[in-house]
Amino acid sequence: MELEAWRMVKSIWKILGTSLFEIGGERISLLTICSALIFFYLSTLASRYAEKAMGRILIDKKGIDRGVKDSIKRITRYAVLTIGGFITLDTIGISMSSLAAVGAVLMVGVGFGLQNIAQNFISGLIILFERPIKLGDLVEVKGVSGRVDSIGARSTTISTRDDISIIVPNSQFISEQVVNESLSGDRLRLQLKVGVAYGSDPRKVEKCLEKAAYSHASVLKSPLVKVYFSDFGASSLDFTLTVWVHDIWNYHVILSDIRYRIMEIFKEESIEIPFQQIDIHIDNHNDKEK
């Protein structure tokens, strides 16, 4: 019984060790493939552990930006995964010349349908190194506006103000025009246009608009709030109010609150916001002929 079991094990081992094909002179068997898969899986686990370990090291580094920390963690993971891949291939006997042969085959595959995957992966590396966007940035790309939640190897996840997650290919952040409202800092200048009736005192309107702006807790005291007399409109005197805020994500709420406050102050000061007026002149030729 034991002899038969031993023979069966030897037969299975022989099957696993039977060469299936060759790459660059190296014989590849089922055993080789299984070993490669196990080593690669262990390399994947090691890369994840290295990323978490780097995160624990960087968590106390107060002077490093959050986006930089995330980039360092992600690059650490890719580096360990790459090293693990090379060690795995070397362990199972695949030399660099064999890798060159595999690379030639893969390049053919890229040419037939993997261009987007390769392009997005390379774009992801560019994003991590150059950091045109980072976690928490408020961006707009191809009409999609939201906050950057995660930057992956192939795609970036953006959360909109409606709490909808949108997955954007990394290549769009490199090849398309991207509006990054957070790139220059965590401040944002907002503009609000207001029209008042002719006959209103412009200086009084200016003070009312400043009062409304400074009454909001999110409006910064520096840079100062500015009020500009923009134009003489068709039915109103047009003003532009500019304010600076830190809360970039909720700027539309801030503008709404300021508008409410402007309405309250204008009512207290008897300043009218006019309706659009259209004058119609009717020339009756029949009456003139009579």
Q: What is the pLDDT of residue 6?
A: 61
Q: What is the pLDDT of residue 34?
A: 77
Q: What is the pLDDT of residue 105?
A: 58
CATH 1.10.287.1260 fits 7-130, yes or no: yes
Could you tell me which residue, 208 or 247, shows the higher pLDDT?
A: 208
Could you tell me which residue, 279 or 251, shows the higher pLDDT?
A: 251
pLDDT at 35 over 80: no
Q: What is the mean pLDDT of the chain?
A: 79
Q: What is the pLDDT of residue 39?
A: 80
Hey, what CATH class is 138-180 in? mainly beta
CA 227 vs CA 220, 239, 240, 247: distances in Å: 15, 7, 6, 21
Q: What single string gives the DSSP state of each residue in 210-240?
A: HHHHHTSTTB-SSSPPEEEEEEE-SSSEEEE
Q: What is the CATH number of domain 188-268?
A: 3.30.70.100
What would the mean pLDDT of 136-159 be, rounded to a whole number? 86
pLDDT at 259 over 70: yes
Q: Among 129-133, 155-159, 268-272, which stretch is predicted with the lowest mean pLDDT?
A: 129-133
Is residue 289 helix, strand or coil? helix
Buried b (16+ CB within 10 A) or exposed e, 147-180: bbeebebbbbebeeeeeeeeebbbbbbbeeebeb
Share of the chain above pLDDT 90, in %: 24
Per-residue pLDDT reduced to its tens digit, 67-124: 667 777 777 888 888 888 777 777 666 665 555 655 665 566 555 556 777 788 788 8
129: left (phi over 0), alpha (psi -120 to 50) or beta: alpha
Tell whether pTM > 0.85: no
On whether the CB atoms of residues 239 and 192 are closer than 8 A, the answer is no
- The ranges assigned to domains in the chain are 7-130, 138-180, 188-268
